[in-house]
């Protein structure tokens, strides 16, 4: 049977096709190295739709998207760092610049552990560096109370004879909570002796629906600089941000008592790539330290295997470990950013919670767990290349350090006391958490 020509379709199709053409957007550009020379064979990845291409011999590339929204573009080639552009509008002259990657001291040590065995991890037994802590309970409003879950405290700072700390806060039995850091707000407390604390209430709350911090704000740190106060914290837009791709948000205030003003955009995001990279899944535990006239944002990265065949959870941890997480650092001229991730990332091979303080002309850190160098104290002359200096006994969990003046001689001046947190496991119920105090034990 002969089919009748469908005139309506014949009329509509070209219109639809032309409409799509109108909607389709072109992103084009060039990838250069830091000397301004074209980079051939660099990957260009459009995060929102997964479109990927490779630069030609002139470093040129082109990608199309079916909608008119801005896009996240990631540029990469082996031997270079990942560079990403957020909220890039369609354009024909997008210039991506690739910086050569460098191996940090911790990455070189990790390579040597892989080659020579994990029994080659050396922790010097040095009295000047070895540390030991003792833990005690807080009093007042922050005395342990199963009704409330208070966790991941910030550093403690002293402002006009009062100590201040900020922390993640939630009601333990909130039925909608999927983890202790889900559906959190940032609360703060003050004290005159560092032992008895008064809960002052909310400092920074979750954002309105649709915002990058709508689901939870948690795991915060405080920076006092230029007469202002800056809170950095993890922010989750939705449930995925609780376990995977979160961002780091920031709020600032003229007084530690607020009011706090949120920045419109996050200051840090994971490296949005499907390749294995130490922070391709999440950026956690942000902590900003003023250093050499700049602001160093240290953070813990988490790696996710995503589409990488054969990769095991946590991206193939070494030394038979179940989990390995590493830290990165991003540097800015101003506290509010923009923060640029270091070419030396990752800067540790172990990690979890970030505990960092300036000492002499360099930077000291505590490494807690999740890697081959747990319970160590480390030092770096330049803020990137950390070496193991000694061991740590009774390390506090998720410690917020009391911010003391920088010492030229005593590496422990930045860890004399502070606050940490404890998980109280209750079988068959939601576990709760409380904040405790830790003190350095002088030997």
Residues in touch with ligand AAL (CB under 6 A): 152, 181, 218-219, 234, 284-285, 300, 352-353
Nearest-approach distance from CB 246 to ligand AAL, in angstroms: 7
Identity of the residue, 353 or 373, whose beta carbon is nearer to ligand AAL in the bound complex = 353
Identity of the residue, 83 or 182, whose beta carbon is nearer to ligand AAL in the bound complex = 182
CA distances 125 to 236, 349, 391, Å, are: 41, 20, 7
Strands 432-440 and 417-424: what pairing? antiparallel
Neighbours of 69 (CB within 10 A): 12
Identity of the residue, 181 or 386, whose beta carbon is nearer to ligand AAL in the bound complex = 181
Distance CA 436, CA 430 (A): 20
State both tokens at 29.
């550009």
CA distances 2 to 5, 7, 10, 12, 125, Å, are: 9, 15, 17, 22, 91
Nearest-approach distance from CB 234 to ligand AAL, in angstroms: 6
Helix (H, G, I), strand (E, B) or coil at 11: helix
Environment class of 19 (CB within 10 Å of its CB; exposed 0-12, middle 13-18, buried 19+): exposed
Distance CA 422, CA 420 (A): 7
Identity of the residue, 80 or 181, whose beta carbon is nearer to ligand AAL in the bound complex = 181
Strands 196-204 and 139-140: what pairing? parallel
Helix (H, G, I), strand (E, B) or coil at 142: coil
Nearest-approach distance from CB 152 to ligand AAL, in angstroms: 5
Nearest-approach distance from CB 104 to ligand AAL, in angstroms: 20
Identity of the residue, 167 or 218, whose beta carbon is nearer to ligand AAL in the bound complex = 218
What are φ and ψ of residue 280, in 5° steps? -80, -10
Q: What spatial distance separates the first Cα and last Cα of the chain, rounded to whole Å? A: 98
Nearest-approach distance from CB 288 to ligand AAL, in angstroms: 16
Nearest-approach distance from CB 94 to ligand AAL, in angstroms: 33
Nearest-approach distance from CB 235 to ligand AAL, in angstroms: 11
Identity of the residue, 179 or 332, whose beta carbon is nearer to ligand AAL in the bound complex = 179
Nearest-approach distance from CB 154 to ligand AAL, in angstroms: 12
Distance CA 241, CA 227 (A): 32
Nearest-approach distance from CB 382 to ligand AAL, in angstroms: 25
DSSP 8-state symbol, 15: H
| Inter-residue contact 344 to 104 (CB < 8 Å) | yes
Identity of the residue, 285 or 373, whose beta carbon is nearer to ligand AAL in the bound complex = 285
State both tokens at 116.
């020579």
| Inter-residue contact 129 to 411 (CB < 8 Å) | yes
Nearest-approach distance from CB 179 to ligand AAL, in angstroms: 7
CA torsion 63→64→67→73, rounded to 10°?
A: 0
Identity of the residue, 284 or 344, whose beta carbon is nearer to ligand AAL in the bound complex = 284
Nearest-approach distance from CB 151 to ligand AAL, in angstroms: 7
| Inter-residue contact 188 to 198 (CB < 8 Å) | no
Identity of the residue, 260 or 299, whose beta carbon is nearer to ligand AAL in the bound complex = 299
Identity of the residue, 55 or 168, whose beta carbon is nearer to ligand AAL in the bound complex = 168
Identity of the residue, 351 or 411, whose beta carbon is nearer to ligand AAL in the bound complex = 351
Environment class of 9 (CB within 10 Å of its CB; exposed 0-12, middle 13-18, buried 19+): exposed
Total residues belonging to the chain: 443
Distance CA 409, CA 164 (A): 27
């Amino acid at each position: 049977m002969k089919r009748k020509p469908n005139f309506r379709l014949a009329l509509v199709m070209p219109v639809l096709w032309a409409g799509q053409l109108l909607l389709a957007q072109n992103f084009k550009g060039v990838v250069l190295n830091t000397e301004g020379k074209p980079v051939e064979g660099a990957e260009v990845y459009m995060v929102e739709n997964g479109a990927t291409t490779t630069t030609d011999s002139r470093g040129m590339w082109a990608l199309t998207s079916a909608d008119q929204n801005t896009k996240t573009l990631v540029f990469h080639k082996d031997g270079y760092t990942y560079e990403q552009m957020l909220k890039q509008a369609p354009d024909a002259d997008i210039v991506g610049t690739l910086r050569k990657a460098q191996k940090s001291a911790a990455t070189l040590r990790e390579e040597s552990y892989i080659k020579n065995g994990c029994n080659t991890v050396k922790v010097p037994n040095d009295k000047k560096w070895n540390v030991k802590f003792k833990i005690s309970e807080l009093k007042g409003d922050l005395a342990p109370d199963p009704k409330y879950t208070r966790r991941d405290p910030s550093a403690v700072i002293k402002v006009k004879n009062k100590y201040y700390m900020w922390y993640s806060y939630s009601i333990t039995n909130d039925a909608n909570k999927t983890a202790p850091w889900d559906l959190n707000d940032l609360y703060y407390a003050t004290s005159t002796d560092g032992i008895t604390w008064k809960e002052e209430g909310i400092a920074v709350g979750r954002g309105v629906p649709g915002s990058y911090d709508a689901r939870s704000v948690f795991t915060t740190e405080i920076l006092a600089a230029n007469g202002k106060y800056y809170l950095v914290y993890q922010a989750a837009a939705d449930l995925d941000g609780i376990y995977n791709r979160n961002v780091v948000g920031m709020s600032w205030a003229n007084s530690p008592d607020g009011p706090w003003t949120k920045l419109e955009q996050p200051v840090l995001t994971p490296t949005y790539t499907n390749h294995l990279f130490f922070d391709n899944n999440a950026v956690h535990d942000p902590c900003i330290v003023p250093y050499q006239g700049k602001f160093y944002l240290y953070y813990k990265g988490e790696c996710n295997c995503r589409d990488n065949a054969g990769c095991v959870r946590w991206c193939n941890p070494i030394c038979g470990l179940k989990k390995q997480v590493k830290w990165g650092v991003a540097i800015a001229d101003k506290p509010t950013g923009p923060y640029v991730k270091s070419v030396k990332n990752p800067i540790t091979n172990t990690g979890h919670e970030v505990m960092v303080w300036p000492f002499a002309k360099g930077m000291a850190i505590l490494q807690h767990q999740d890697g081959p160098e747990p319970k160590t104290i480390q030092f770096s002359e330049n803020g990137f290349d950390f070496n193991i200096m000694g061991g740590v006994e009774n390390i506090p969990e998720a410690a917020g350090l009391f911010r003391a003046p920088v010492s030229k001689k005593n590496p422990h001046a930045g860890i004399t006391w502070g606050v940490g947190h404890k998980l109280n496991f209750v079988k068959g119920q939601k576990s709760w958490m409380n904040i405790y105090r830790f003190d350095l034990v002088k030997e």
